[in-house]
Amino acid sequence: MLHAAIYRAPAGSIIVVETGGDIDYAVAGGNVCKIAAKRGIVGFIVDGVIRDISEIREIKFPIFARGLMPKPGRKEIIKELNQPAHCGGVKVFPGDMVVADEEGIVVIPKNQINQILESAQKRAAKEANQSLQEWEAAHHARIEEILKAKGFQD
């Protein structure tokens, strides 16, 4: 139940919402997002639909959902809080790191955060120090290697 989670989650939290596939009712709208932001919640990941997208964009509250539905949600549906949630086919556990932007959402298991962060920083540094020409040469060589391994012939 998203509304209860907003009042229980510590500031800095991203709330992940499992809807069980329900897309008949919006899980959140403009006012819910405004209250969440006011309480220090930094975003929602919703495996369902939301409403009031213009209001949400206006306050720049990060929310990721399957789609939009103008019909308000039902608040009497109770689910356990701070439990694993299935969202987008991924099981998300409390304490996992969630990184989201316009390109997608990544869930990093709590016990792998440091390892994956270090790996991502190394890759970003390598890419930042590589010219497009160097990247293209390496990319082309890799593609040719894959084609050769698969038996592709010119």
Give the CATH superfamily of 2-108: Ribonuclease E inhibitor RraA/RraA-like (3.50.30.40)
- pLDDT exceeds 90 at position 31: yes
80-92 b/e (C-beta count within 10 Å ≥ 16 → b): eeeeebebeeeeb
Residue 115 has pLDDT above 80, yes or no: yes
Helix, strand, coil % in the chain, rounded to nearest 5 = 40, 20, 40
pLDDT at residue 53 above 90?
Answer: yes
The model's pLDDT over 74-85, given as tens digits with 9 standing for 90+, comes to 766 667 888 999
Q: Give the pLDDT mean for 114-142.
A: 94
Which tokens is 51 given?
């409403």
> Could you state, in order of their start, the residue ranges of all structural domains in the chain?
2-108, 115-149
Task: Specify the pTM.
Answer: 0.79
Sign of CA dihedral 111, 85, 31, 75: negative
Q: Which percentage of the chain shows pLDDT scores above 70?
A: 97
Burial of residue 129 (number of CB atoms within 10 Å: 0-12, 13-18, 19+):
exposed
